[in-house]
Structure 1
Amino acid sequence: MSQEPIQNTDAAISSILDRFAIEDLLTSYARAIDRLDIELLKSLYHEDARTEHAWFEGTARDFADKVIAFSRDTFASTMHHVTHTHIALNGDAAAAESYYYAYHLLEGDIDKVAGFFGKSYAERCAEDGTINDGHEFISGGRYVDSLTKREGVWRFANRETTVEWKHFRPATHGDPGSGIEKIVAPAGRDRNDVAYRAFAAIGR
């Protein structure tokens, strides 16, 4: 069956703008988590929004406080990727299903490694000499969101996060002086990061 032509140009443009706004929320979430930007994270949710995120269930504002503190205390760096999204619109309400995968780097002594990954993993790493090399935790799943537009602004009203696979391993490193070791361009986990400087330069 061929697709029916769009009869209402204004409605089509409005739909495109709504989708852009929702996609901006999804990518801004990744930025907020990775840069530990609690103000940005809270701004993505309505004040009465709720979220269910693997180890947390409650208000989105409480989640923001807890996840930023946890990430700061636990991981040396993180990088969240939103890969593809299905969005359905119905007036000022929307639903979105977004696939993601997330990278986390944990650094610390045997107690910290055992506290997150478990005692047996930490003991194996201590035995093979990788306990102090850093440890990578990678996971994938979906963000399933209910969103509403209030006073012309889209925000999350409810978010449920699935975790559908997990993998962890000691981090790998090149030899001192090797080409791979010379590739170093660290990110900032705050508003001193290069992205904030770039946007500040244009007043955004």
Structure 2
Amino acid sequence: MNDNLLDRVARLEALEAIRDVDARYCRALDDGDWDTLVSLFTVDGEFVGLSRARGHAELRSFFAGLAEAGLTAFWHHVTNLEITLDGPDEARARSLLWQPCVQDGVPHIAAGHYTDTLRRVDGDWRYVTKQVSFDYFVPLADGWDHGRFTVASAAATYPGRQFA
């Protein structure tokens, strides 16, 4: 009985730690805290979405460069986190994303999902891959309907399209 209880507690601790990584990712991204954001990835971790960046130097450059690319403000609202533990140190997660943002000075609304793989490194969970796919990314004033995009890099992430 005790072994089973210990396994169950370890599982619950892992799930909660992964939820915490996701919350810290959103907060660090929205606050522009690139040191914290990059630390949430493995050394060779990658972000796949608006672009592809691998390794801490590329990740820092990509995220810090979003403002220069016109994405000057964003607020990540992530929900419905589904986590699958593939072992004591490996996991997959999927969550829904709703993201008001400002692109080229224009308020936009975006929605989609994240698909992640994670690994425990030195006791802490880190992203191996964090991939975003958008269902829409449009000016707020235009409203939205499924599949509309005004940002080409977001359109490239639409489910069913190949990422270049």
TM-score class, shorter = 0.7 to 0.9
Identity level (%):
23
Q: Quote how far apart the aligned CAs of 1:76 are.
A: 4.5
Query: Does 1:47 find its partner at 2:43?
Result: yes
Q: Deviations over 1:139-174 (max 9, x none)?
A: 111111110112211100112211112221359xxx
Query: Does 1:95 find its partner at 2:66?
Result: no
Query: Does 1:15 find its partner at 2:11?
Result: yes
Supply the distance in 1 between the matched residues of 2:69 and 2:53 (Cα, whole angstroms). Answer: 21
Q: Which has the larger radius of gyration?
A: 1
Supply the distance in 2 between the matched residues of 1:39 and 1:19 (Cα, whole angstroms). Answer: 24
Task: Report if aligned partners of 2:15, 2:83 keep a CA contact under 8 Å in 1.
Answer: yes
Task: Report if aligned partners of 1:36, 1:72 keep a CA contact under 8 Å in 2.
Answer: no
Supply the distance in 2 between the matched residues of 1:15 and 1:21 (Cα, whole angstroms). Answer: 10
Task: Report if aligned partners of 1:96, 1:144 keep a CA contact under 8 Å in 2.
Answer: yes
In structure 2, what is the equivalent of residue 67 of structure 1? 63
Runs of 4+, deviation exceeding 2 Å: 71-77
Number of residue pairs matched?
140
Query: Does 1:151 find its partner at 2:147?
Result: no
**1:6–1:64 Cα change, 3 Å:** farther
| TM score, norm. by length of structure 1 | 0.62
Supply the distance in 2 between the matched residues of 1:26 and 1:64 (Cα, whole angstroms). Answer: 17
RMSD of aligned residue pairs (Cα, Å): 2.3
Q: Deviations over 1:16-46 (max 9, x none)?
A: 1101110011111111111001001011001
Query: Does 1:58 find its partner at 2:29?
Result: no
Supply the distance in 2 between the matched residues of 1:91 and 1:97 (Cα, whole angstroms). Answer: 18
| TM score, norm. by length of structure 2 | 0.76
**1:28–1:72 Cα change, 3 Å:** farther
Question: Which of 58, 72, 79 is 2:75 aligned to?
Answer: 79
Task: Report if aligned partners of 2:47, 2:59 keep a CA contact under 8 Å in 1.
Answer: yes
Question: Which deviates the most, 21-30 or 63-72?
Answer: 63-72
Unaligned runs of 5+ in 2: 143-164
Which amino acid in 2 is paired with 1:165?
Y
Task: Report if aligned partners of 2:53, 2:62 keep a CA contact under 8 Å in 1.
Answer: no
Q: Quote how far apart the aligned CAs of 1:52 are.
A: 0.8
Supply the distance in 2 between the matched residues of 1:158 and 1:75 (Cα, whole angstroms). Answer: 22
Relative to its length, the structure with more helix (as a share) is 1
